[in-house]
Structure 1
Amino acid sequence: MRAAAFASFGGPEVLRVMELPEPQAGPGQVRVHVKSAGVQHFDCAVRSGWKPAYGLEVKLPQIPGNEFAGIVDQVGEGVNGFTVGSQVLGYSLLNSYAEYVVVGEDQLVSKTVTMSWEEAGGLTGNGQGAHIALKAIGVGPGYTVLINGAAGSLGSIAVQLAKEWGAKTVIGTASEGNHAFIRSLGAIPVTYEAGLSDRLRQLAPDGIDAAFDTAGGEGLHAAVELVKDRNRVCTFYAYDLIEELGFRVVRGERSAARLAELVDLHLKGRLQIHIRQVFPLSQAGEAHRALETRHGRGKIVLMID
């Protein structure tokens, strides 16, 4: 099968299309003919040589990619929820930048007809990440919430979930060119520059109850300054500062149930998945390069087929 993989660690240039053996579905597993795969910072970090604390095994040549959508073409013994031809989206820590990926049945949900392949391939990682983060900081009815880096894929989904879960006010930091987009999601946009804390006090005179950081910088420091309870602040960016700033480490398991909840919100028109840019599999390295600029609005996706 064709796959975008790397045989050595390094920059985006190490990613190239290779011919690798097709995986086969075992008991309880499903093989998916991949149509689209989302591009995540996690993928870039693994490609660069980062090894997460939970012991992910990387074997060179390695196919990155931890979210995908496609059509089931093989089911293993004991699989009851899906059949050949089922349209699905799902997740796997690795191996999604390929024509075929094999995962457990419990890592898939059905794709709706209202969701494009680009949207389906790009929902799982950032969608579940935002869900995990906002649950961890307890966002709920009446809250005033700060999302730092609100225009990116992770931040924009977090804005929408905060509104969906009853937040009274959602404030999103973003560059000025993305302010109209932030407003369209139901949040109040504010620029990152120096003096952010003062601008936030004007926007939220009664205080900020919780903050989710996806961008670091001034926004993270403002969250530290303005949110009284550090347990109500979460970062998915400045991991090296968590201990210094007194945050708790937020981890959560992705699940089919959580993913199904997000798919249902999209079906009901209450969750947008903004696609920033689509690349063919042959340009996976360029997709990584674009993502690593950390500029831009929404999700980057690879189209495999």
Structure 2
Amino acid sequence: MRAYGFTEAGGPEKQVFLDVPVPAPGPGELLVQVRAAGVNPGDWRLRDGTYGISGPAVLGREVAGTVTALGPGVAGFSVGDEVFGGCPGMVGGWAEQALVTASFAAHRPESVSREAAAVLPVAVGTAHDALENLGLPAGATLLVNGAGGGVGIPVVQLARARGINVVGVASPAKHDLVAGFGATPVAYGDGLLDRVRVAAPNGVDAVFDLVGGAALRAVAGLVADRSRLLSVADKPLVRELGGQVVERDRSTAVLTSLVRLVASKALDPHVAQIRPLDEARQALAEVENGHVVGKVVLVP
């Protein structure tokens, strides 16, 4: 089958279309005809060797589609079901067919598009899990560093639904969007801490970082209790600063709760671009460069 991935760890020049065998589902796995696949920063980090995979490998960690085969021991799913979920191993979702972990898959209701469902396992799931990790009460204030991206937009919505006040650090072009979902937007750069103090005069109770590097260092001091400092963008640095990485709950239960929120219009995963798989290189470049507002989806 045709798939998009990389030949060896490195830069974008290592990305290519691949001819790979259709995978056979193993124990606890589904084989899914891919109808939509999410694009995430984790895809370029996989390609550049951050996760220790040298390649070749197919990119894509989340998909929505139709079940075509079941692995041994799978219960609760049948051939023909419309599902979405996370992909295991080296055969990712940017392909005609993909493996999906059954315990990290859920049924897609007809009222939720394939494109919206496809972005729930990674980005929206990470947003949900970060809030669960932090355990902030209603009335607390959360600073989201990178509030206009694929994880930032759902975490703003999910936090506001819990009664949490949100200060969203984002580029000025994304301020209207961030404010529209209920956060107080502030800009990056010189004077950031002063702008945060104006937006949250009583201080912030937690920081969730989606940027890393210097941007993470700039906001880390806002929380004295470093157990309230989370990052998914720069795991080595957040640990160096005394903070934590997000502990994921990759379960059917979480995915089912999230898709119900989308179906009820209580959550908008904000799919901003839907591209054919032929444009995978361009789509990943936009995500890697940080220029995307919301989520990008590929359609084989």
Q: What TM-score do the two structures reach when normalised by structure 1?
A: 0.91
Q: 1:237 is paired with a residue of what secondary structure?
A: coil
Query: Which 10-residue stretch deviates more, 218-227 or 2-11?
Result: 218-227
Q: 1:117 aligns with which of 114, 117, 131?
A: 114
Counterparts in 2 of 1:11 and 1:247: CA distance versus 1, 3 Å:
same
Distance 2:278 2:237 in 1: 36
Q: Aligned runs of 1:245-260 on 2, under 5 Å?
A: 245-260=241-256
The answer to whether the Cα contact below 8 Å between 1:16 and 1:284 also exists between their aligned partners in 2 is: no
Structure 1 residues 221 and 20, CA gap change in structure 2 (3 angstroms)? closer
Count the aligned residue pairs. 298
1:149 corresponds to which of 146, 149, 154: 146
Cα-Cα RMSD: 1.9
Q: Is the 8 A contact 1:36 1:301 kept in 2?
A: yes
Could you list the per-position Cα deviations for residues 26-46 of structure 1 after superposition, in whole angstroms to 9, with x for gaps in the alignment?
Answer: 444321101111111111111
8 A Cα contact 2:9 2:54, kept in partner:
no
Is residue 41 of structure 2 the alignment partner of residue 41 of structure 1?
A: yes
* Residue pair 1:111, 1:120 contacting (<8 A) in 2 also: yes
Counting only pairs closer than 5 Å after superposition, residues 120-131 of structure 1 correspond to structure 2 as 120-131=117-128
Deviation per CA, 1:238-276: give whole Å up to 9, x if none. 323223322134332422211111111111211111122
Specify which of 86, 97, 102 is matched with residue 81 of structure 2.
86
Structure 2 Cα separation of the partners of residues 92 and 48 of structure 1: 19
Judge conservation of contact 1:173–1:219 (CA < 8 Å) in 2: no
CA distance in 1 between partners of 2:49 and 2:97 (Å): 24
- The answer as to 2:101 corresponding to 1:104 is yes
Counterpart of 2:116 in 1: which secondary structure?
helix
1:50 matched to 2:36? The reply is: no
Deviation at 1:222, TM superposition (A): 4.8
Q: Could you tell me which residue of structure 1 aligns to residue 7 of structure 2?
A: 7
Residue of structure 2 in register with 1:55 after alignment: none
* Superposition TM-score, scaled by structure 2 size: 0.92
How far did 1:166 drift? 2.0
| Aligned: 1:73 with 2:62 | no
The residue aligned with 1:226 is 222
Note the alpha carbon deviations across 1:185-240, whole angstroms, 9 max, x for none: 11111111211111111121111111101123675345323223111111112323
**How far off its partner does 1:72 sit?**
0.8
The answer on 1:135 being equivalent to 2:132 is yes
The answer for unaligned runs of 5 or more in structure 2 is: none
Output aligned runs, 1:284-295, within 5 Å: 284-295=280-291
Deviation, structure 1 residue 11: 2.1
1:3–1:217 Cα change, 3 Å: closer
Unpaired runs of 5+ residues, structure 1, are: 53-57
**Partners of 2:12 and 2:244 in 1: CA distance:** 32
Structure 1 window deviating more from structure 2 (246-255 vs 272-281): it is 246-255
CA distance in 1, matches of 2:48, 2:119: 21
**Secondary structure in 2 matching 1:166:** coil
In the aligned structure 2, how far is the partner of 1:97 from the partner of 1:237? 22
1:153 match: secondary structure = coil
SS at match of 2:57: coil
CA deviation profile, 1:47-95 (whole Å, cap 9, x unmatched): 112235xxxxx47431121111001112234433111211110002441
Cα deviations across residues 136-184 of structure 1 (Å, max 9, x unaligned)? Answer: 22223111111111000111111111112221x2111111111110111
SS at match of 1:127: helix
* Residue identity (%): 40
